[in-house]
Structure formats: structure tokens, C-alpha cells
Amino acid sequence: MEPEIQAEGVAALQPVEETSSLRMILTLGLAGMISGLALVGIYLFTAPIIEANKAEALRRAIFLVVPGSESYQTLELQDSGLVAIDPEQKKGNKGGERIYAAFDGAGDLLGFAIPGAEPGFQDLIQGIFGYRADERMIIGFEVLDSKETPGLGDKIIKDQHFRTSLTTLKVDPEIVAVKPGDKHEANQVETITGATISSKTVIRLLEETVRRWIPLIENYLSTGAA
């Protein structure tokens, strides 16, 4: 008789265990769904704020890299070349790559603000530089985003001598990186002691990006669109 009683006891406990497991699964599932909805809600709330902040940072950077500019026109690379667009009408549609024609208060063209990116020591360095087509010269540079090592790689932002050297930098025959103290030509840039890789990355960013855009800008200017 005792084995039968024990078997009946075990059988009676099984539904309780199954119910408990099911309740736990449902609870975890509900918690996961709530967490997921919360994350989606946070993203939907913060995404427009983040985009607005990025747009404002870009606007400020354009005016910095093209000194004296007070307005700018967004130019998008399309099949036919550079085309002036209204970015507000193309929100949500990334379209082609973009650069910016910058103008003074009288509406005269001062130069172009050109974004670019290159892999640095830690991560991608994203920057924007000013370019005067009539002088074939870079006239300013700003870092838009960088995760370079604080105190070392971030010298590309803080080193004033390096930054100043990027305000009158000739692009012909090519932009060349040289050691500190070895600059003798207008197309040379001295690297930063303690941030050689990061500064070389910026120089490479300038050289490769400007080479790509020069013929497109020249073609745009030849049409009299500016």
C-alpha cells in the first residue's frame, strides 16, 4: 500500500510544478515585452532630439571651417553631379552624399564645407573641412565625431598648432604628413607628437576626400550654378 500512496503523492504535485513554470514563463515574457516597448518609446522620443543636435553641430561646423560664411546651400551628389537641394524636403530620405557651398552676407561664394571620415587609432574619425576652389586650399577643419584616446589622440581637437596648420593648407601636388619641425612647403602638415596615428588619419582624410570632390566641385562651378 505504501508505494501506491507515494505514487499518488508525486502525481498530485506535478500539476502544481507545471503551473508554477508556466506562470514564470508568462511573467518573464510580459516583462520582456514591457522592456521592449519602453526601449522603443525612448528611441522614438530621443531620435528627433539627437538628429536635431547633429544638424545644429553640422551647421556650426560649416560656419567654422569656412570663415566669414553666414549661409550655405546643401549640394547632393546625384547621377548628373552636384545638385542643390532643400534638405528639409528630403528628410527621412538620405539620398546621395552631400557637401555644402558656403556664402558670405552678400551672397558671394566663399568656399565649400566637405565632410569626410577615416579609421583612426580607436575608431572612425569623422570631420569636415573648408575648401576654397579658386586657391585650391583647405581653410579649416573641425572634428564632428571621434573616440580617440583622451590626452593623446584627442590632440587633433586640442592642439592649436595642428589646427592652425589646416587653415592655409595647399592641396597641390598632394597633402603630405611630415615630422614636427620638418614643414617647408604649403602642402605639408606636421604630425602631432604623442598622437601621430590620429594626426596622420586626419591628414589622410583631407587628402583622400578632397581628391574625390575636386573634379565634382570644378564641374559644378563650370556650370555657373554657384
pLDDT over 70 percentage in the chain: 88
Please, which residues have CB within 8 angstroms of residue 155's CB and are 6 or more apart in sequence?
Answer: 162, 192, 194, 195, 198, 199
Please, which residues have CB within 8 angstroms of residue 214's CB and are 6 or more apart in sequence?
Answer: 133, 136, 171
Alpha helices in the chain (DSSP H): 2-65, 155-158, 160-165, 196-222
pLDDT in tens, 3-17: 554 544 544 445 556
pLDDT given for residue 55 in this prediction: 86
pLDDT given for residue 43 in this prediction: 75
d(CA 63, CA 199): 23
State whether residue 61 is helix, strand or coil: helix
pLDDT given for residue 18 in this prediction: 65
Q: Is 92 exposed, middle or buried (0-12, 13-18, 19+ CB in 10 A)?
A: exposed
pLDDT over 90 percentage in the chain: 62
Query: Are 66 and 88 spatial neighbours (Cβ–Cβ below 8 Å)?
Result: no
Report field, pTM of the whole predicted structure over 0.85: no
What mean pLDDT is predicted for residues 133-137?
98
Query: Could you tell me which residue, 35 or 43, shows the higher pLDDT?
Result: 35
pLDDT given for residue 157 in this prediction: 93
Spell 168-187 as b/e; 16+ CB within 10 A means b: ebebeeebebeeeeeeeeeb
Q: Report which DSSP code applies to 150.
A: T
Strand partners, 129: 114, 141
Range in 85-99, 137-151, 162-176, 208-222 the model is least confident about: 85-99
pLDDT in tens, 162-193: 999 999 999 999 999 999 999 999 999 999 99
Residue at grid coordinates 590620429: 198
pLDDT given for residue 24 in this prediction: 84
Task: Return the C-alpha cell found at 68.
Answer: 566669414
pLDDT band at 1 (very low <50, low <70, confident <90, very high): very low
pLDDT in tens, 65-120: 999 999 999 999 998 799 999 988 766 666 789 999 999 999 999 999 999 999 98
